[in-house]
Amino acid sequence: MSTKNQAKKMATAAPNDTGEDDDDIGVLIYRESQLRKAEAAAAAAERKNTSSASTHPTSTRKRCSSEGCTNNSQKRGVCIRHGTKLTTNKKCSADGCTTQARNGGVCSKHGATRKLCSSDGCANIASKGGVCVKHGAKSKRCSSDGCTNRSLKGGVCTRHGATWTKKQCSSDGCTNISVKGGVCYRHGAKRKLCNGATWTKKQCSSDGCTNMSVKGGVCYRHGAKRKLCSSDECANIAKKGGVCVKHGAEVKQCSSDGCTNKAHKGGVCKRHGA
């Protein structure tokens, strides 16, 4: 029997009771109304939770178990950075090439197209946001306080603990850094030209000479001719336009304010960071 019916029955059975009976009836009606409100609120909250769960399912992907890493785990509880080896990565289909394929089953060396920087006249590879590092792509910096160098390993640069071992040329007695194929440019590493062709430096054909050949198979020391300045009685080497620097050949200067040194790399001289 509901509370309202009980209240009616009490009112019918004892119409001449005192005011205490009226108070009891009011309390019963109040309790009934509060109970109905609580039931309605609980039902609304349950409907809301059900609709929210169906619209926004929670992610079930696990995070990398390495301390401090927020990457998604790929295999064995770790991400690629912390040891997962992806067996699905395909190698370049070119014969003898072990580089990872990028596009069309080949690597960038064998024809895969890479997105270039969107800045006008820039031929660098786009890193992030369609631009290269030079034109605004953000690269991860060293985590050491006050250091602006690029991080290489473990979140730090080589100056603050990142280990980076350069391989030496495999040629006997050579201390140059290997570039490609385990050798340096001097001992056969090929350079890629702008048109896609390759260029290999050759050594001087003179017996016992390890200098690079310049012209006619020999170095300057053993007979290769240098173009001299066209100015009268000048024996300097011509740099540009047939003349030397002294007689008008333009040389790019360091972009640092007030510096007149020759620019070597990045528009600056060695003194200012080249």
pLDDT tens-digit readout, 203-245: 788 887 877 777 778 888 888 888 888 888 888 888 888 888 8
Rg from Cα positions in the chain: 39
Provide the pairing of β-strand 190-192 with 198-200. antiparallel
Asked if the model's pLDDT at residue 50 lies above 80, the reply is no
d(CA 54, CA 217): 76
Residue 181 near residue 188, CB atoms below 8 Å: yes
Centre a 10 Å sphere on the Cβ of residue 168 and count the other Cβ atoms it contains: 14
Give the pLDDT mean for 34-63: 74
Centre a 10 Å sphere on the Cβ of residue 269 and count the other Cβ atoms it contains: 19
What's residue 53's pLDDT?
Answer: 55
d(CA 158, CA 164): 7
12-21, 45-54, 68-77, range with the lowest pLDDT? 12-21
| pLDDT class of 95 with cuts at 50, 70, 90 | confident
Amino acid (one-letter) located at 1: M
Residue 89 near residue 100, CB atoms below 8 Å: yes
Asked if the model's pLDDT at residue 146 lies above 80, the reply is yes
CA angle 264, 242, 261 (to 5 degrees): 25
d(CA 29, CA 173): 103
Q: What are phi and psi of 154, to 5 degrees?
A: 65, 20
Give the pLDDT mean for 252-261: 82
**% residues pLDDT > 90 (the chain):** 0
Distance of CA 60 to the CA centre of its chain: 26
| pLDDT class of 194 with cuts at 50, 70, 90 | low
Residue 126 near residue 116, CB atoms below 8 Å: yes
Q: What are phi and psi of 53, to 5 degrees?
A: -70, -35
Crossing angle for the helix pair 3-13 and 19-55, nearest 10 degrees? 170
Extract the tokens encoding 152: 């290489």
Taking all residues of the chain, what is their mean pLDDT, rounded to a whole number? 76
Distance of CA 18 to the CA centre of its chain: 85
